[in-house]
Structure 1
Amino acid sequence: MDETILRVPSPEDLFRTSRRTEEQPWTASRPPAGEMARVLGTTPRRIVTEISGSSIAHWKHGELHDVVEPMKDHVIMTYIGTMQRLERRTGKTLASGTARPGAVTIIPSGTSSRWDIGGAVNVLQLYLPHAVLERVAAEADTAGSAPLLERTGHLDPTTSRLLMSAVDVLDGSEALDALFRQQLAELLAARILSVHTGAPASYQPASGGLSPTALRRAIERLRSDSDTDLSLAALAADAHLSRFHFCRAFKQSTGLSPHAWLRQHRLAQASTLLRDTDEPVVSIAVALGYGSQSAFGAAFRRLTGETPSEWRRRAR
């Protein structure tokens, strides 16, 4: 992953006020990473805030011996290549665990703890507004709302893998990656409700796929080359469904999630342009909505095993 550091505010500015920048479209009056920036004494390497208010941030920080004050959002985190002992004191309660691949830590909103971490940590954090959690529970027909459980280095490979999948979409194609991050936040919220609350959520299965009309509208929106809104909210609204049930029904109809369908569509477009035109790779990347040639190349290689130039030479 490209280690370029985004232009982000200082820890003091993050803590005291919200700034809106091109890279960081903050949606709340207080930035979701503000308290973390103050405690960790650094800024996130990358951070993306979605229209729902959920944010994903990538941090690298050193040892920590400080109190994390109550945060507005729930924080769910997992670790990249890290092996560190964690201690968390809440009142008279001491919890300990290990920051390691496959483990997650959860800080419910409004809680405060003292943390002691003895060395460097490489971590991904999801800031999940409680309103998103409540909405997903309602859309999944989950009755009641159990408290979110505190977790400290808790082994949960499924949740960890879901959050780790955000690593490759903090940069790149704006529409494609934004759609994936929105779906990711929905999936993580459902997973959290299922295994990290006082009572597991029981979800009701979708009754079937999209109607032919709804499916046609969704595909037309996803295929659009204009500035059409590709958010889950817009796609679901066209189908008159909640986002939760739209994703389920779309996959039943196509065999793919909206993000996977759009990814394959973009790949097909790229393949046609690479094979049938002499357009430079950088021009194709721009035409398909990628922020840079390197981001397009990385996405293309993940799907085909070849760089765009290698694929073009072989296809011809």
Structure 2
Amino acid sequence: MPALLACVPDAWGPKFGTESGAVTRTWTGPNEIAFKAPAHMALVMFTPQPNREIALNSSRRTVTLAPVGTIEVVPAEADLFARWRVAKENLLVAHDQHRLAQLAGAEFQNEDFEFRPPRPGFVDQQALQLANLIRAEFQRGEAANDLCFDALITLFGTHLLRSYSSFSDRPRPLLSGGLSPRAWRAVTDYIHANLSESLSVGRLAELAGLSPSHFLRAFRQTSGQAPHQYVVAQRLALVEQLTKTTDIPFAAVAKAAGFSSNSHMTATMKRTRGVTPNNLRREQRRLDIAPE
């Protein structure tokens, strides 16, 4: 999925790809960029850009003030040119056309849509809130959570469809209630059977028979947690079990529990439980050899 952002230089900032799309947090400038969008894209400004030049599918460039929270929507295959005269920080989200069509089908029962980009300099506070959550996940470094990224990218895509597409004038259905017992079992059984694998909101929502955005609300209402928080808790429970009952090397424990590395596993357990796997194993060994 990071290939969706191949048009953005790697030196501008970190990139992250999930099943739902790809995202990069960039800081660069003054600079400019021009490309044909390989995917549906949206950019949100974290810093203001006075005298920003932008052209979308046109040789005519618009010069505008782009305040913090400005959003720019770039449909797939559109030609984009942008130039900025001050250093800037922003978030760029890319959604694969097929994946976003699937999301539209789940949300609106119709996979056919077209984007209607807002005017230059348009501020979108809801998109900025989502962008800030994604930026915060980037700031976690190696401890960043794949499923959290996937959920946020999915929510961002849903927001784009609701606000800037041909679906924007449709009434939104009122959805309430948590997961049914059957859906809860299907989702949690799948999570426990696939803790070592990369999990996606799209697949979990499919198991529950819900759209991704409805699934995220329903899961939190049922469990009191977001899906990524629940998954982290189950992964740490497996880490604790394997650490205390086996001599498996920590690198293998991390892999079995779905962490990218031993250091990722250790940092996550230290942050959430105040102990490390090494602490747990050492304490368990002390208990095992203590005289009765």
Taking structure 2 as the reference length, the TM-score comes to 0.72
Write the letter of the residue equivalent to 2:220. K
* SS at structure 2 position matched to 1:147: coil
Q: Secondary structure at the match of 1:266?
A: helix
Residues 278, 121 of structure 1: CA spacing in aligned structure 2 closer, same or farther, 3 A cutoff?
A: farther
Q: 1:85 to 1:308 in 2, by over 3 A?
A: farther
* C-alpha distance in structure 1 between counterparts of 2:41 and 2:141, whole Å: 18
CA distance in 1, matches of 2:156, 2:165: 13
Match status 1:136 vs 2:103: yes
Secondary structure (helix, strand or coil) at the match of 1:96 reads strand
Q: Which amino acid aligns with 1:248?
A: R
Residue of structure 2 in register with 1:70 after alignment:
36
Summarize the Cα distance change of 1:224–1:170 in structure 2 as closer, same or farther, 3 Å threshold.
Answer: farther
Offset from partner CA, 1:55-95 (integer Å, 9 cap, x none): 112434332145x2331323223456x56545023325322
Q: How many residues of Structure 1 are paired with residues of Structure 2 in the alignment?
A: 274
Note the 1:78-227 alignment, pairs <5 A.
78=44, 84-85=49-50, 87-90=52-55, 91=60, 93-98=62-67, 103-109=69-75, 110-141=77-108, 147-152=116-121, 154=123, 156=125, 157-167=128-138, 171=142, 177-196=145-164, 199=168, 202-224=171-193
* Ranges in structure 2 where 5+ consecutive residues have no aligned partner: 285-292
d(CA) in 2 for partners of 1:135 and 1:44?
30
- Larger RCO: Structure 1 or Structure 2 (Cα < 8 Å, ≥ 6 residues apart)? 2
Q: Alpha-carbon deviations, 1:98-128, whole Å to 9, x = none? A: 4x5xx34323224445433234444432112
Shift of 1:159: 2.9
1:61 aligns with 2:32: no
- 8 A contact 1:142–1:201 mirrored in 2: no
Q: Normalising by structure 1, what TM-score?
A: 0.67
Please name the residue that 2:238 is paired with. 269
Cα distance in 1, alignment partners of residues 31 and 192 from structure 2: 47
CA RMSD of aligned residues (A): 3.9
Change (3 A) 1:113 1:152: farther
In 2 relative to 1, CA 224–50 (structure 1 residues): closer, same or farther, beyond 3 Å?
Answer: same
Contact 1:266–1:288, Cα closer than 8 Å, also in 2: yes
Give CA-to-partner distance per residue, 1:153-200, whole Å, 9 cap, x none. Answer: 836242322332441577558xxx333232222111222344455846
Q: Which amino acid aligns with 1:56?
A: V
Offset at 1:235? Answer: 2.6
How far apart, in 1, do the equivalents of 2:207 and 2:115 lie? 32
**Matching residue of 2:8:** 36
Structure 1 residue 204: deviation in Å? 1.7
8 A Cα contact 1:76 1:104, kept in partner: no
Letter aligned with residue 157 of structure 2:
A
Secondary structure at the aligned position of 2:123 is classed as: strand
Q: Look up the match of 1:21.
A: none
User: What is the rounded CA distance, in whole Å, between the counterparts of 1:201 and 1:307 in structure 2?
Assistant: 50
Structure showing the higher helix proportion among its residues: 2
191, 197, 203: which one aligns with 1:234: 203
Larger Cα-atom Rg: 2
The alpha-carbon distance between structure 1 residues 137 and 238, as it changes in their structure 2 partners (threshold 3 A), is closer
Aligned partner of 1:248 among 209, 217, 240 = 217
User: Conserved in 1, the CA contact under 8 Å of 2:115 and 2:164?
Assistant: no
Separation of aligned partners in 2, 1:148 and 1:301: 44
**2:258 is aligned with 1:289:** yes
Gaps of 5+ in 1: 1-24
Q: Equivalents in 1 of 2:214, 2:16: separation in Å?
A: 25
SS in 1 for 2:179: coil
1:229 Cα deviation from its structure 2 partner: 7.0
Counterpart of 2:94 in 1: which secondary structure? strand
